[in-house]
Amino acid sequence: MTSSDKWQLGGRHRKLGAMERMRGVARYTDDLRLPRMLHAKILRSPHAHARILSIDASRALGMPGVIAVITGSDMPTPYGVIPWTTDENALAIEKALYVGDGVACVAAESEELALRALKGIEVEYEVLPAYFDPEEALAAEETINPYARKGNLSKKVELEFGDVDAALHGAALVIEADYEFHGTTHGAIEPHCALAKVDADGLLTVWSATQVPHYLHRELAKVLETPARQIRVIQPPLGGAFGGKSEPFDLEFCVAKLSQITGRPVKLLYTREEVFYAHRGRHPMKMHYRVGFDASGKLLAVDAKTVLDGGAYSSFGLVTTYYSGQLLCAPYELGAYRFDSRRAYTNKPACGPKRGHGSVQPRFAMEVSLDKAAVELGIDPIDLRRKNAMGEDCLTVNELRVGSNGFLDCLAAVEEASGWKQRRAKLGFGHGLGVAGSTYISGTNYCIYPNDMPQAAVQITLDRSGRARIFSGASDIGQGSDTMLAVIAGEELGLPTEDIRVLSADTDLCPVDLGAYSSRITLMVGNACLEAARKLRKKVTQSVAKRWECSPKQVNLVAREAIDMHDPERRAPLVEAFQWAEADHGLLGEVGSYDTPKDRHGSYRGGAIGASPAYSFTAHVAEVKVDAETGEVGLVKIWCAHDCGTAISRGLVEGQIEGSCYMGAAEVVLESHGVNSEMGGLHHGPSLLDYRMPTTLDTPEIEALIVEAPDARGPHGAKEAGEGPLHSTIPAIVNAIYDAVGVRVDDLPVTPAKLVRALAAQAEKGGV
């Protein structure tokens, strides 16, 4: 074995904590019980837009078993995960902004009593005009959010690179169309839940089903006006998140405040209906695109105008508005590019970051535009994408720096695996193949709050018993980040993952990490872990070399042994090697940290948003069958090739690819989250019975193809795999539907009714 051999990296590993979940013994937040624990419930507005004139809780407080009631005035400090858009209160103070907005919270001896007490709270409302369409909201005189600075304009971004108008004027072909992306929500199995306790020393501990413990810790300190050193946030095992738990919510503030008031532990579990109210799902977007090509199919220019429906609060909306344009500039070379994105406040639950944050919607518009151009120009859609693919180590038109790039390999992989060239022209009416490509960030250079400190940090200690402990602030939300860290550390230290304990997402015990969003953990936290592990490896190999009287470079740590690579018969158990190192160096502990490079973006305003240390690349081919009479779309199979740089753990990467494809496919033909404007903003079926998510019977076969184009900025060359594989799923399916029946539906979801109407309109025009 040589020092370059990898014995853990790229293997298949059992996910840490998987057996506890499979056996049903993992303790999620709602499984936690504390002595004298109270239960809380939130009173929510029945109106989409209403001024709160008065709240009388006296009748509720007079009920036996009701201990406390709080309202917005008890926590008046506004907050927001983005520090420039602090436009939420823990409970509404002046106005309720959507059906389901929280206005008061009760703590009682039982959940049943708390629910009963809600009926004893009297709220006097002045109902105001409500706006559910973003363009109507932007034109309205009534301001929805009381903290808004520019009417109902949440954020506006206008950026142009090159002479777009001249390029479009000289184009041989311009594809111009309107695209509409509906809203969807996350559908995590576990509802939001939080539990708070104040101990005798005044330490507030909050257990929460969150994917951003650090940001929750910051906002709790701010809103509760409590020093951060007196607050501890713990993330128990999480039952799914996908971006839906990536910021603080009303329940976390409420249980913390009620615990401070009562001196007792307080828990609050959302009902499934409340999860839909909380939302923070994918933004509905209306997109008008003009895309210009020369006669050979070369991309000349893109002009994109987008209106985002942001809902009642900003959430991550500032970033989303930038992402809706900034992340479109790869994997293709664009001669010139302009985007105009406006995010509107509306009287709906706030939208936020759902898997593939901000760039899934424009990718749909762009990839369908490319497919339309391929048809018009008579070019194979894969060949059109090859012609326009950018290379590696280059700049995008908006000055984002791309490192490694495996996009062409991804295209080749799905082309071969799907039998594209042999099958596509022979499938017959009603049966089609579609292709699409995409890119995504591997962490973001843009820190949510500006500071000069690391964005990720890891501590590792080695035990004389022969095991390692990793302390990481990263949030494992099911993607397997704990396992990834164990593999990286195990590779360096010669330990199998079962000999490594990972303690994560506890603000008292672990170093700061910014959370599970923007596919940042593998690259950022992985690099921090690698740094710490290599420092420890150096100490151990030095101590072994000292005993063997050889160079430390010839000592390898692998499979619980230290081995002399020049004399493989000479070896020692790692237990002994660790003990030698502890004798030489004292307690074996090291730290690693990571911050993003500063040369990844242009100098213009907003140039850092969308910049990433590295970018992943993806290509999809989808196969569908369409019943032209009923409009039903059958998803047959999806091939997804994803460039993850280096696969740290192949099973985890494949799982992320499959999960992304599943979610993307669902958003094409099934899912839709919205409100009924004719019924005053009531939600369309806020339950898992009514919200249409695919079951195993609806899910197509998915073939995950791993492409490895290692990037020098990732740990062992690794890039992300958690979100990128979703983006081009959606347009690949839409393009396959066109290939099957010759009609396009440019507003999602593609329902049977829309398809039947499109086919009927085509027949009237004399089409197939």
Q: In three state form, how does the secondary structure of 683-709 look?
A: ECCCCCCCCCCCCCCCCCEEEEEEECC
Structural domain includes residue 654: yes
Q: Are residues 733 and 653 in the same domain?
A: yes
Q: Do 626 and 717 lie in a common domain? A: yes
Same-domain status, 760 and 711: yes
**Are the CB atoms for 740 and 626 separated by under 8 Å?**
yes
For 79-217, strand residue ranges (E) read 95-96, 102-108, 122-127, 153-161, 173-181, 193-198, 204-208
* pLDDT on residue 467: 97
Do residues 232 and 342 lie in contact, with contact meaning Cβ atoms separated by under 8 Å?
A: no
Are 238 and 513 in contact by the 8 Å Cβ rule? The answer is no
β-partners of residue 207 are 195, 234
User: Residue 176: inside a domain, yes or no?
Assistant: no
State the DSSP string of 720-749.
--SSHHHHTHHHHHHHHHHHHHS----BSS
Question: Would you tell me the crossing angle of helices 360-377 and 317-326 to the nearest 10 degrees?
Answer: 20
Run of H or E residues at 758:
helix 752-764
Three-class secondary structure of residue 134 per DSSP: helix
Residues 438 and 366 in one domain: yes
**What is residue 450's predicted lDDT score, i.e. its pLDDT?**
87
Question: Which pLDDT does position 446 carry in this prediction?
Answer: 79
Same domain for 221 and 331, yes or no, is no
Pick out the chain residues at pLDDT < 50. Answer: 1-4
User: Is residue 384 domain-shared with residue 525, that is, in the same domain?
Assistant: no
Short-list 344, 358, 414, CA closest to 385? 414
Query: Can you tell me the distance from the alpha carbon of 751 to that of 442, in angstroms, rounded to the nearest whole number?
Result: 33
Q: Is residue 533 a contact partner of residue 525, using CB atoms and an 8 Å limit?
A: no
Q: Where a domain ends, among 572, 594, 616?
A: 594
The CA distance from 146 to 152, in Å, is 10
3-state class (DSSP) for residue 598: coil
Residue 616 β-bridge partners = 440
Neighbour order of strands in the sheet with 336-344: 153-161, 336-344, 299-309, 285-293, 173-181
Of 559, 722, 726, the closest CA to residue 649 belongs to 722
Q: Residue 31: its pLDDT value, please?
A: 97
With left for phi above 0 and alpha for psi between -120 and 50, is residue 606 left, alpha or beta?
A: left
Instruction: Tell me the backbone φ, ψ of residue 539, rounded to 5 degrees.
Output: -65, -45
**Residues 506-545 pLDDT 10s:** 999 999 999 999 999 999 999 999 999 999 999 999 999 9
Q: Is the peptide bond before 686 cis (omega within 30 degrees of 0)?
A: no
Looking at the structure, do residues 608 and 585 belong to the same domain, yes or no? no
**Phi-psi label, residue 460: left if phi above 0, alpha if psi -120 to 50, beta otherwise:** beta
Domain that holds residue 462: 18-25+454-594
Q: Provide the CATH number for the domain around residue 469.
A: 3.30.365.10
Locate 38 and state its tokens. 């109270």
Co-location of 694 and 715 in the same domain: yes
Strand partners, 594: 456
Of the residues 565, 594, 623, the one at which a domain ends = 594
307, β-bridge pairs: 286, 342
Number of Cβ atoms within 10 Å of the Cβ of 690 = 10
Q: Is 68 helix (H, G, I), strand (E, B) or coil?
A: strand
pLDDT at position 765 is: 86
Residue 345 lies in a domain: yes
Which residues are CB-contacts of 500 (< 8 A; sequence separation ≥ 6)?
A: 467, 468, 469, 470, 486, 489, 490
CA-based torsion, 280, 282, 284, 289: positive or negative:
positive
Nearest alpha-carbon partner for 661 in 360, 382, 444: 360
Angstrom distances, CA of residue 88 to CA of 102, 313, 695 = 11, 7, 36
Q: Which two tokens stand for residue 503?
A: 């303690």
Q: In the block, which residue shows the tokens 């000479």?
A: 570
Do 431 and 534 sit in the same domain of this protein?
no
Specify the DSSP element, H or E, that contains 9. Answer: none
CA dihedral 26, 31, 33, 38 (to 10 degrees): 160
Whole-angstrom CA distances from 38 to 41, 108, 197, 259, 261 are: 10, 6, 10, 9, 12
Rounded-to-integer distance, Cα 555 and Cα 537, Å: 10
We report the CATH number of the domain holding residue 253 as 3.90.1170.50
Residues 290, 430, single domain; the answer is yes
* Nearest residue to 445 via CA among 520, 340, 526, 368: 520
* Angstrom distance (rounded) from CA 33 to CA 629: 55
Query: Interior CA angle at 129 toward 123 and 134, to 5°?
Result: 120
Token look-up 């979703």 returns 726
- Residue the block writes with tokens 């180590």: 393
Q: Is residue 215 part of a domain?
A: yes
410: which 2 tokens?
A: 């991804």
Helix (H, G, I), strand (E, B) or coil at 554: helix
Cis peptide before 749 (omega within 30 of 0): yes
Residue 307 near residue 134 (C-beta atoms within 8 A): yes
- Cβ neighbors of 168 (< 8 A, separation 6 or more) are 174, 290, 292, 300, 301, 303
How far is residue 546 from each of residues 262, 465, 532, 566, measured CA to CA in Å?
A: 60, 21, 22, 15
Closest CA to 215 of 92, 310, 353: 353
> Tens digits of per-residue pLDDT, 475-517?
999 999 999 999 999 999 999 999 999 999 999 999 999 999 9
CA–CA gap between residue 41 and residue 269 (Å, rounded): 8
Query: Residue 419: inside a domain, yes or no?
Result: yes
pTM for this predicted structure: 0.96
pLDDT recorded at residue 768:
54
Q: Which pLDDT belongs to residue 767?
A: 57
Residue with tokens 């369908």: 368
Q: Which of 475, 724, 732, 485 is nearest to 614 (CA)?
A: 724
Q: In the numeric block, which tokens belong to residue 515?
A: 């959370």
Among 564, 594, 624, identify where a domain stops. Answer: 594
Domain count, the chain: 3
Is residue 143 included in any domain, yes or no? no
Residue-by-residue DSSP string for 286-326:
EEEEEEEE-TT--EEEEEEEEEEE--SS-TTHHHHHHHHHH
DSSP 8-state symbol, 334:
-
Residue 152 lies in a domain: no
Which helix (DSSP H) or strand (DSSP E) does residue 462 occupy?
strand 456-463
Q: Are residues 413 and 474 in the same domain?
A: no
Query: Is the residue at 4 inside a domain?
Result: no
Whether residues 255 and 331 share a domain: the answer is no
SS3 415: helix
Q: Report how many helices (DSSP H) and strands (DSSP E) the chain contains, helices first.
A: 20, 30
Strands 633-643 and 701-707: parallel
pLDDT at residue 447, rounded to an integer = 85
Tokens of 323: 């992402």
